[in-house]
Amino acid sequence: MAKNPYEFESIIRKTSLVNRDEELKEAIYYSKASCVFFLEGPIGVGKTYFAHKLIEELRKQTRIIFVDAKNHNKSKDIEKTILESNKFFSKMTHKKPRRALLIIDNISSLSKKNQQRIKYYFDQDYLGSVMLIGESYEETKLIESLRHRTGSRTISLTPHGEQTVYEVYKQVSNGAQLSQYEITRMYEDNERNLKKLIGELGFLHSQKTSEHQAYLDYSREFVHVNHTQKKVDYCLRCNSKLENIKENYRCPRCDTYCMACGKIVGVEDDQCPACLAIFK
């Protein structure tokens, strides 16, 4: 069975960064400058993906240790994690790795004690540079000594625009089936969260129907819920004003529905399953 192209490992392997050139150059510079720096951005913007692309750029010239603090046992000494990430090195030398780049994802989940250890290893020159990753540098609870060492070295990732998101989709899908308009609508539906969008696309890809048909099913259900609960006054797809049919809000251009009761029906239905009205 073919792998889902929207799985994270697959995306890392076969795609390249889009419109993040300046941020990547800055991250490479800091990684080689023996300093602590912070990568920030809202949930789902692509911070972890960015970190893995940085690793691809540097792994041939720098020893890199990646730790996801969210999966790190708070009572566990970060030193053990660092050494376990370098099993071959530690087994051969029985020493701490020197001049490594340490990347800590989800830094807000790391205990203060382990933050202090990172500061110590950095000061002792066991670590060449440290990249901390979180939603906001200002709002992340860092110990003061680690914040002091970070200073103003922050890299901010902002949500991609619609054109860039479609370029990302074309890379990931390896042959776009959905239009830019459809991807844009899904992106907006998912609050401009790229991670959520990729998750939705992965779900659509896993369906037995074609990706395009799965999108239509997804879109119909999304609009059905939002229109029925009157979360909006205009169609989310074509911006037409919705019609009120017995408290069901429908788009006369995009929705297929029963004119008698307003319930969503299939295009091939000859009878409404809700009110049993017969369609001519």
**Contact criterion met (CB below 8 Å) for 155 and 38:** yes
Look over the chain and give the mean of its residue pLDDT values, rounded to a whole number: 82
Residue type, 225: V
* Residue 251 three-state SS: coil
> What is the pLDDT at residue 29?
97
Residue with the bigger pLDDT between 45 and 213: it is: 45
**pLDDT (tens digit per residue) in 102-129:** 999 999 999 999 999 999 989 988 889 9
- CA-based nearest residue to 185, from 223, 242, 229: 223
Q: In the block, which residue shows the tokens 């401009």? A: 192
How many whole angstroms separate alpha carbon 89 and alpha carbon 106? 26
% of the chain beyond a pLDDT of 90:
42
Q: Spell out the CATH class of 20-156.
A: alpha beta
**Contact criterion met (CB below 8 Å) for 159 and 192:** yes
**Contact criterion met (CB below 8 Å) for 259 and 266:** no
Under DSSP, the state recorded for 3 is P
> What is the pLDDT at residue 254?
76
How many whole angstroms separate alpha carbon 77 and alpha carbon 257? 60
How many whole angstroms separate alpha carbon 268 and alpha carbon 279? 10
How many whole angstroms separate alpha carbon 97 and alpha carbon 259? 71
Domain residue spans of the chain: 20-156, 162-250
CA distances from 156 to 27, 107, 145 (A): 11, 15, 22
The pair of structure tokens assigned to 204 is: 């659509």
Q: Considering the entire predicted model, what is its pTM?
A: 0.74
- CA-based nearest residue to 198, from 3, 8, 2, 1: 8
C-beta neighbour count of 77 within 10 angstroms: 12
CA distances from 276 to 110, 175, 247 (A): 58, 42, 18
Q: In the block, which residue shows the tokens 């799985």? A: 7
**pLDDT (tens digit per residue) in 124-159:** 888 899 999 999 999 999 999 999 999 999 999 999
Under DSSP, the state recorded for 56 is H
Element (H, E) at 215: helix 211-228
How many whole angstroms separate alpha carbon 164 and alpha carbon 197? 13
* Residue 218 three-state SS: helix
Pick from 67-71, 100-104, 165-169, 201-205: least confident: 201-205
How many whole angstroms separate alpha carbon 186 and alpha carbon 169? 11
